[in-house]
Amino acid sequence: MDIVQFFNEPANYLLVFLLVFTIILGFEVISKVPTVLHTPLMSGANAISGVVIIGAILLIRQAATDDYFSLGLGLIAIVLGMINVVGGFAVTDRMLEMFKKKK
Amino acid sequence: MLSFIINIAYLVGAVAFVWGLRLLGSPDTARKGNLYAAFGMALAILATFFVPLEQDNGNFGWILGGMAGGGLIGWLAAKRVKMTDMPQLVSIFNGLGGACAVVLAYAEIAQFYAGARTMSSGESLIVLVALLIGGVAFTGSLLAYAKLQGLVWDKQVILPRHQLINMILLLVVIVLGVVVFLQDGSGGMTMVVIFTVVTLIYGFSFVAPIGGADMPVVISLLNSFTGLSAAAAGLVYGNNIMLVGGILVGASGTILTVLMCEAMNRSLFNVVIGGFGSAGSTQTGDDGDQVVKEIGNNDLAIQLFYSQSVMFVPGYGLAVAQAQKILKEVDDMLEANGVDVKYAIHPVAGRMPGHMNVLLAEADVPYPKLLDLEDANAALPNTDIVIIVGANDVVNPAAENEPGSPIYGMPVLQVWKAKNTVVIKRSMSPGYAGIQNPLFFHDNNKMYFGDAKAKLQEVAAEIKNL
């Protein structure tokens, strides 16, 4: 079976290991967030999901210099990802700045 | 040596994500947490410039150009958005993240079909999963954005027998996915294109029947999808930090989804199926002859001014009327007279998780004054007067004492235990659940009809004259 082969490959196995433990870690770290912070948590997490931009950078770096199809797709992905990353962190910061004010 | 430094940078970046999310869990450290996560991202992106590749053509002009353009757009959007529009902005950003994953997955498949790269069957399965989840997150978020922005109304996008259509679409998507998986790089891109297009259509169709008060659930769910698609892309590239970042987002989105569902006492399946459905139609009759009592500006102002404790219950109507600032003004005037003012926040008030907290924070309401469901219910029996601003279903006593009601069992704010309640509302029309609210007919409840902002301004003017 291909899937079994995939899993038995040490590098892939480690990746699966990382996957499982990150899931557990994620639930542990985030489960205690109070209601007040739900929106910033969501927009902050949203910005983190822009990490997919790394894949776009790798795609462009590997593309042949005249492979305009891949370059174009990569460019679109980078623009989309970057809007997500920069916009997400910036708007979260703007929100949290308001939360900081206390009496 | 270079790859050693890059690996360390990725490790530090991943730890910064985790640590940042942890700090986001407490109001005092949240801002720092967000900055940590942003730092982790910057580090990860920078390190990716230098990752050694077997085939490296640079193309840094493309990369930097794209980053500058996207960064500028994101920055401007973040600086200009109004706090009341936050759900829309988060949705659209989320959709773009999903779109990014779709484009990447598509590019990888295209290269595989062109023979430019090899792909094990494990990898090709993951690419298809990334394409599917990212696609649903993308078009689903776009539709959620359009709904929140008021560009599209629920009725316009819900087809007859929509659940059946959705099930058929999902089935078609899965079958097409299997076909693409089995053809394994041969037979051209036609099937891949069809698969992608149907996936995108399914994303629209998936979100179409979900609306109104269910928005917080669907936004959380789409958020989790985007994270998972990023994680899947991370598996394709064998990139740990993409995997870690994506999974963390997936976990946070999932937790919020579950919390929102619990706050409405509904299962995720029930929300996805859409609407409170048929149950509302059985709720007729018994309220017909009852009358509601109204209250005037002056009376309300006097009652508020001379009470000892006041609790505001904000809902989506507050956001629509943009009444958060004037609410805070009333709060200040009351505080100046020694009235204890608090706010009761129901977890699903508004259109995204925590929506009300953001609006009130914008109006400079200090967060210790915001009580969550449990604390608010503990404080309500000792509250002199409760002002309900644009909320309805979350204060409906039927959730506790009418087993036949569609919202029976949903945790609500027990405002009827307070000495008096006043409901600011434009009309007697029912809330999202489409059911009558018996609270309006209670002896110690008064109605104050009108736009929340205009009405609060009138009250503020009256209080000034006292």
Backbone angles phi, psi at B343, to 5 degrees: -125, 135
The size of the A-B interface in CB pairs under 8 A is: 379
Average pLDDT taken over every residue of chain B: 88
Residues 5-24 of A with CB under 8 A from B: 5-7, 11-12, 15, 18-19, 22-23
**How many CB atoms lie under 10 A from the CB of residue B147?**
25
Euclidean distance between CA atoms B312 and B365, whole angstroms: 12
> DSSP letter at A102?
-
Give the highest mean pLDDT range of B16-20, B26-30, B344-348, B422-426.
Answer: B16-20
In chain B, % of residues over pLDDT 90: 47
CB B44 within 8 A of CB B9: yes
- Inter-chain residue contact A45 with B253, CB threshold 8 Å: yes
Q: Which residue is it, tokens 């599209």?
A: B152
Euclidean distance between CA atoms B344 and B326, whole angstroms: 17
Q: What is the pLDDT of residue B270?
A: 79
Q: What is the pLDDT of residue B433?
A: 67
CB B380 within 8 A of CB B414: yes
Q: Give the start-to-end residue ranges of the domains of chain B.
A: 1-49, 86-275, 297-465
CB B447 within 8 A of CB B293: yes
Helix axes B324-336, B355-362, angle to 10 degrees: 60
Per-residue pLDDT tens over the stretch A76-87: 999 999 999 999
Largest CA distance in chain B: 82
Per-residue pLDDT tens over the stretch B327-365: 999 999 999 989 999 999 998 888 888 889 888 988 889
- Inter-chain residue contact B103 with A31, CB threshold 8 Å: no
Q: Would you call B385 helix, strand, or coil by DSSP?
A: strand
Q: What is the pLDDT of residue B340?
A: 92
Confidence band for B279, pLDDT divided at 50, 70 and 90: very low
The candidate with the shortest Cα–Cα distance to B129, out of B111, B152, B144, B109, is B109
Confidence band for A101, pLDDT divided at 50, 70 and 90: low
pTM of the model: 0.87
Q: What is the pLDDT of residue B83?
A: 84
Is the pLDDT at B12 greater than 80? The verdict is yes
Confidence band for B285, pLDDT divided at 50, 70 and 90: very low
Q: Side chain identity at B262, as an amino acid letter?
A: E
Choose, out of B104, B218, B236, the residue to mutate when testing the contact with A (most A CBs < 10 Å).
B104
Residue B393: both structure tokens together: 């279903």
Q: What are the Cα distances from residue A52, in Å, to A20, A84, B54, B137, B281?
A: 19, 10, 21, 14, 46
Q: Would you call A103 helix, strand, or coil by DSSP?
A: coil
Residues in CB range of B367: below 8 A, 6 or more apart: A36, A99, A102, B27, B357, B361
Per-residue pLDDT tens over the stretch B286-307: 445 577 888 888 888 998 899 9
Find chain B residues with C-beta within 8 A of A7's C-beta.
Answer: 122
Per-residue pLDDT tens over the stretch B136-168: 999 999 999 998 888 887 777 777 788 888 889
Confidence band for B171, pLDDT divided at 50, 70 and 90: very high
User: What is the arithmetic mean of pLDDT over B235-253?
Assistant: 91
CB B348 within 8 A of CB B315: no
Q: What is the pLDDT of residue B333?
A: 92
Comparison of pLDDT for A102 and B147, the residue scoring more: B147
Helix axes B121-148, B162-183, angle to 10 degrees: 150
- Does the CA dihedral B103-B108-B113-B114 come out positive or negative? positive
**Pairing assessment for the beta strands B420-425 and B340-344 based on DSSP bridges:** unpaired
Confidence band for B283, pLDDT divided at 50, 70 and 90: very low
Which H or E run includes B447?
strand B445-449
Q: What counts of helices (H) and strands (E) characterise chain B?
A: 18, 6
Report the CATH number of the B297-465 domain.
3.40.50.1220
Per-residue pLDDT tens over the stretch A11-20: 778 888 888 9
Find chain B residues with C-beta within 8 A of A3's C-beta.
Answer: 121-122
Euclidean distance between CA atoms B380 and B378, whole angstroms: 6
Find chain B residues with C-beta within 8 A of A77's C-beta.
Answer: 100, 103-104, 107
Of B57, B239, B368, which is closest to A65 when you measure between CB atoms? B57
Per-residue pLDDT tens over the stretch B433-455: 677 888 888 888 988 888 888 88
Per-residue pLDDT tens over the stretch B67-107: 999 999 999 999 999 888 888 999 999 999 999 999 999 99
Q: How far is B434 from chain A (nearest CA, A)?
A: 26
Is ipTM strictly over 0.90? Answer: yes
Q: How far is B96 from chain A (nearest CA, A)?
A: 5
Any bridge partners for residue B421, and if so which? B386, B445
Positions of B marked catalytic:
393
Euclidean distance between CA atoms B34 and B258, whole angstroms: 23
Find chain B residues with C-beta within 8 A of A36's C-beta.
Answer: 27, 345, 354, 357, 367, 370, 372
Q: What is the pLDDT of residue B390?
A: 86
Question: What's the first-to-final CA gap in chain A, in angstroms?
Answer: 64
**How many CB atoms lie under 10 A from the CB of residue B272?**
17
